[in-house]
Chains A and B, each alone.
Chain A
């Protein structure tokens, strides 16, 4: 056993046949790219499957009306153009000419109408139906035109039409969307189509020759289902997969210390559309007091969390939007770490250490609370660092990590908590009505911290009905400013998404555009000399 460990720990893996991965080759069609994911999709009809694994595969197969371009502005996907009526209540989409499904059947506005009717159907179990239920009338004046009308102008509407994957009416009509075999052998319109789905093992896609967007370069996309991250990484080391998502340790410690891995892999980091925060239950005392919230914000050293928990692979944020996008207000800066200011604010709020036990008291009661979080290592570690910093200024903090389903139903839904450490993953539309508007506080809704600020309510309502991008931007810049000042949550960090990609995959846009490393992946290619020997491909 010991000798096994010694030999396993000391010898580098043998390098495979020497291939010059540093060289640049011209773009060429063909080849197979192998990826891995930890969870298997339940089906490929995203509107009912709902999970990210489903979205990851289905987005290669289906198109929506609109999509985001490299700089995260909307452009046509199936739609060639769209017009918004003067009263901003009606959107008319014009489809591209000669669209077809992978089976050769024409793709028309009737398919779009069918998909919309399906998602809003009473019997359809879709968690994402609410955006589409706001459509009062949908019409198809001709085969290339799709027209939707809303009761009032709804700014997130355009974004919502980039999220609805259009399904083929001719194959799904009369089927039960929840049990249809189509979910496991779909026919789409995008760059790829499903070849084989081996339950629990892998999903293989191949190029769709009738793709509405033209051909992709890489022939086959294979996604292996490998639930364990370490096993995935071993497969990456053995060159059995080309790409995987990394955690900070692998990205900044393991790969850089192994020359044989560096030789084969490109590493990418990009900001995601998500952030981690600490949220106060604003209905509980003393978190209703803005001085207390600010004091806690000043007392937490966010850089320490980024360095300690994310190994520096994150950034400090001051607004709930991805930095660098138009919605993020660059004029705002996060609360700095300032323990003195924190103590002064707490004193102002009436917290004084009367019995010299190191813990502050107000009205004879010590300042103590519990931070709850779900079982997520990074959030737990962040909570520990927060605990220590708050102890420094005289607050006694306990931490509890709870399994997800219990966490949501026992604590978040019932509002039975003081402070949470959680994260938000957001869409690309800036509308955050469901998170911050005072009307969204019922059990199960997302304003579970009980935030109630009339100024914020008004800004959110304005932002929802303003379709002009520049005016809308100003509204959300103001929204982020008020939110930062009011401090209902403490922004902890926005972590980088980390990806390893084998150097045989070429043509990746460099530098990474705001849309991310996966942008324009249909242009990626694998030069012939760098391809895996397909026979030995494990």
Chain B
């Protein structure tokens, strides 16, 4: 097991270099650079100034040289500074000689996105598993059909539309929840309990809406897994032993049906890290999706590369954890791993 882990972790290094190389070149294939942004299309901004900028950012050098410079910094774990964001560090905070701390862009955005998406995933699973089990138990019955209908309505509704509608209903008409943002303006004046309440009220809509619209896939997965398992011989055996239906479904079948979910959760890791541009824009949340999207539009190369590299590293790590948990949960896989 340990050798397997070490091997997998070591494999991540060439993988990451490959990913970064491809991303770097694809990014530079897109026309334009930071000096073409909208602010620079101002008759007061001269082409000479823009040329000077290009030289200062090394954008006038061949792409392969730029990649070399980037890789050299990367090896020292230096993700560089943003072109567009007043030279803010891309990844982690820096401290200048006067003791002023400048936080890194990813350092600020990643925790917010992770928190929202992990909460969202938990809610999705908490809803999807019971719904999937009920649908499988009552396969083709009215319960199954209404769950399917509910799921597909949720799946078909555009998230941004539902968000705006709920923002209007809950925020404008009834003043039950804040409309956008992460904190109230006077957040700092609240006591701890007030702060928690304030954060929760701001998170309800951004967390729940994507969960509801994302429910369909996982419910269907659980349902089909359950149906598969329920038709297998060991369930027939369990029933023949005279176990009651509750024990058959929840003790014997469910545990087996949930195994594929580990893979699903593993696959959703890039989404957990990447965030959603649309949701973050609508709810005014300064997360990873918005950070990455703006950086691409501005051709802010250090930020784009930083997000991609950290995103891929975390994704590879997440996949590794998913595989290990799979081995832990399923003895058949575990034995295969040990042999391999």
Could you say which residues of chain A place their CB within 8 Å of the CB of B172?
13, 234, 237-238
In the complex, which residues of chain A have a beta carbon less than 8 angstroms from the beta carbon of B280? Answer: 227
CA distance in complex: A130, B40 (Å): 13
B232 interface hit (Cβ, 8 Å): no
A405-B284 contact given A48-B86, A181-B98, CB 8 Å threshold: no
Report the separation of the CA atoms of residues A127 and B32 in the bound assembly, to the nearest whole angstrom. Answer: 16
Q: Does B36 contact A (CB under 8 A)?
A: yes
Closest B-chain residue to A51, C-beta based?
B39
Q: Chain B residues near A11 (CB, 8 Å)? A: 173
- Taken together as a complex, chains A and B put the C-alpha atoms of A490 and B114 apart, in Å, by 50
Which residues from 35 to 66 on chain A have a C-beta closer than 8 Å to any C-beta of chain B? 40, 42-43, 45, 48-52
A-side interface mostly: loop
**Given A5-B165, A127-B53, also A202-B185 (CB < 8 A):** yes
Within the complex, the shortest CB–CB distance from A121 to chain B, in Å, comes to 11
A409 and B31 contact, CB distance less than 8 A: yes
Of A142-150, A298-306, A427-435, which stretch is located at the interface? A427-435
Give the docked Cα–Cα distance between A309 and B308 (Å).
Answer: 39
* Contact mask for chain A residues 436-458; partner B; CB cutoff 8 A; 1 contact, 0 none: 00000011111000000000000
Interfacial chain A residues near B299, Cβ < 8 Å? 405
State whether A231 and B180 are in contact (beta carbons under 8 Å apart), knowing that A14-B175, A127-B50 are contacts in the complex: yes
Determine whether A257 belongs to the interface, using a CB cutoff of 8 Å to chain B. Answer: no
The distance in angstroms between the C-alpha atoms of A426 and B82, with both chains bound, is: 28
Q: Are B43 and A238 in contact (CB under 8 A)?
A: no
**A199 on the B face (CB < 8 A):** yes
Size category of the B interface is 35 or more
Per a CB cutoff under 8 Å, which of B38, B46, B86, B184 touches A49? B86
Residues of A within 8 A of B167 (CB): 231, 234
Q: State A34–B39 Cα separation when bound (angstroms).
A: 25
Mark contacts of A135-162 with chain B using CB atoms, 8 A cut-off: 1 yes-contact digit, 0 otherwise: 0000000000000000000000000000
| A408 interfacial contact with B, CB 8 Å | yes
Choose one: B37, B44, B282; the contact of A128 (CB below 8 Å). Answer: B44
| Contact B171 A234, beta carbon cutoff 8 Å | yes
Q: Which interface class (under 10, 10 to 19, 20 to 34, 35 or more) fits A? A: 35 or more
Quick one: closest A residue to B48, CB to CB? Answer: A130
Question: Given A179-B81, A404-B38, A409-B32, 7 more contacts at CB 8 Å?
Answer: A14-B175, A131-B44, A179-B96, A202-B185, A226-B180, A427-B43, A534-B186
The answer to whether B230 has its CB under 8 Å from any CB of chain A is no
Q: Which of A5, A126, A404 has the most CB of B within 10 A?
A: A404
Bound-state CA distance A237–B171 (Å) is 9
Q: Which residues 39-63 of B sit at the A interface, judged by CB distance below 8 A?
A: 39-53, 56
Instruction: Verify if B103 is at the interface (C-beta below 8 Å from A).
Output: yes
In the complex, 8 of the A-B residue pairs with CB atoms within 8 angstroms, ordered by the A residue number, are A42-B84, A51-B38, A52-B39, A200-B108, A228-B281, A404-B37, A535-B186, A538-B179
Closest chain-A Cβ to B100's Cβ sits at a distance in Å of 4
Report the nearest B residue to A7, measured CB to CB: B169
Check A199–B286 contact: CB distance below 8 A: yes
Known: A7-B169, A50-B39, A199-B103. Is A238-B175 also a contact (CB below 8 A)? yes
- A50 to B42 CA separation, bound complex (whole angstroms): 10
CB of B87 within 8 Å of the partner chain: yes
CA distance A444 to B51 in the complex (A): 9
Which residue of chain A has its CB nearest to the CB of B284? A226
The complex places the Cα of A406 from the Cα of B297 at a distance, in Å, of: 10
- Residues 129-158 of B, flagged 1 when their CB comes within 8 A of A and 0 if not, give 000000000000000000000000100010
